[in-house]
């Protein structure tokens, strides 16, 4: 009984996502949707990555949350334009949320648009936003069994970040098992291990995002 309604909601969202994608493409914007469970380290990852990426490209961030502007404030503190989207209880962003926020994004002077989705490993994966690719975040504290339990999140991600790896000595999390499970459902997914410690090596992930963004532009961006 409910299935036709759900299908209609998804079809409407897909149509809006296609419009967003057209707008991104015509504006020369590469868009990444960052997804993962509540508190898995999405904003922390952005705080670490954005300063590294900002020297070679112009970035804007959309922050999805149920309530508060806390995450957008953290990103704005880096000097990166950040717009907070509030779902007011909704457990995921929709393409329409993104479309409304795009009015506030300087489209002509943005190379990379990062969207941090609502912290939730389930619903956001069902809703395309018009993004060119997804990065899923799985923290070491969530357990290495999660890829097969939440397969859509990991199947649709071009890259998976295993975050909080500084805590590996203290939690039961085998990065090899997590990587194997991710690649069992998504053989092409790139897997990166990160932590918020000063010695964390983010070079590979930074390079991966830079290359993807540059490829989408087909030309160098900031020199
Ligand atoms: N030990 C450790 N803690 C981390 C790491 N990354 C994030 N955290 C902590 O995890 C908590 C949540 O981090 P956030 O970056 O806010 O997580 P989030 O995924 O953006 O959270 P939501 O937006 O609320 O879903 C904070 O207390 C961070 O300091 C890490 O690499 N290692
Ligand atoms: Mg966050």
pLDDT at 221: 59
What number does the ligand 1 atom closest to the CA of 118 have? 25
Nearest ligand, CA 44: 1
pLDDT at res. 223: 42
Q: Alpha-carbon distance 120 to 123, whole Å?
A: 7
- Ligand with an atom nearest the CA of residue 82: 2
Q: Measure the CA–CA gap between 15 and 163, rounded to whole angstroms.
A: 33
What integer pLDDT is reported at residue 5 of this predicted model? Answer: 83
Contacts of 188 (CB under 8 A, 6+ apart): 158
User: What's residue 19's pLDDT?
Assistant: 97
Task: Name 84's bridge partners.
Answer: 63
pLDDT at 216: 86
For the CA of 65, the nearest atom of ligand 1? 23
Identify the segments of the chain with pLDDT beneath 50: 223
Element (H, E) at 217: helix 203-217
Ligand 1: residue whose CA is nearest its atom 13: 41
Distance CA 7, CA 41 (A): 31
pLDDT, position 9: 87
Collect all residues with Cβ–Cβ distance below 8 Å to 9 and sequence separation of at least 6. none
For residue 8, the model assigns a pLDDT of: 86
- CB of 36 closer than 8 Å to CB of 121: yes
The alpha carbon of 43 and the centre of ligand 1 are apart by a number of angstroms equal to: 7
- C-alpha distances (whole Å) from 61 to each of 54, 136, 187, 202 are 12, 16, 29, 19
Q: Does any ligand 1 atom lie closer than 6 A to the CB of residue 72? A: no
Cβ pair 181, 150 in contact under 8 A: no
């Amino acid at each position: 009984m409910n299935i036709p309604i759900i299908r209609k909601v998804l079809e409407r969202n897909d149509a809006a996502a296609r419009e967003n994608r057209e707008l991104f493409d015509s504006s020369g914007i590469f868009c990444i949707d960052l997804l993962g469970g509540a508190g898995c380290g999405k904003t922390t990852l952005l705080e670490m990555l954005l300063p590294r990426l900002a020297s070679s490209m112009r970035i804007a961030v959309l922050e999805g949350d149920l309530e508060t502007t806390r995450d957008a404030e953290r990103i704005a503190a880096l000097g990166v334009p950040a717009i907070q989207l509030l779902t007011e209880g909704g457990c995921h962003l929709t393409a329409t949320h993104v479309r409304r926020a795009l009015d506030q994004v300087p489209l002509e002077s943005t190379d990379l648009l990062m969207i941090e989705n609502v912290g939730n490993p389930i619903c956001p994966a069902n809703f395309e936003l018009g993004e060119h690719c997804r990065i899923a975040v799985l923290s070491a504290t969530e357990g290495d069994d999660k890829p097969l339990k939440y397969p859509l999140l990991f199947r649709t991600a071009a890259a998976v970040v295993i975050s909080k790896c500084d805590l590996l000595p203290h939690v039961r999390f085998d990065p090899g098992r997590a990587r194997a499970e991710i690649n069992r459902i998504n053989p092409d997914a790139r897997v990166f291990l990160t932590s918020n410690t000063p010695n964390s090596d983010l070079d590979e992930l930074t390079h991966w995002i830079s290359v993807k963004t540059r490829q989408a532009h087909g030309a160098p961006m900031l020199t």
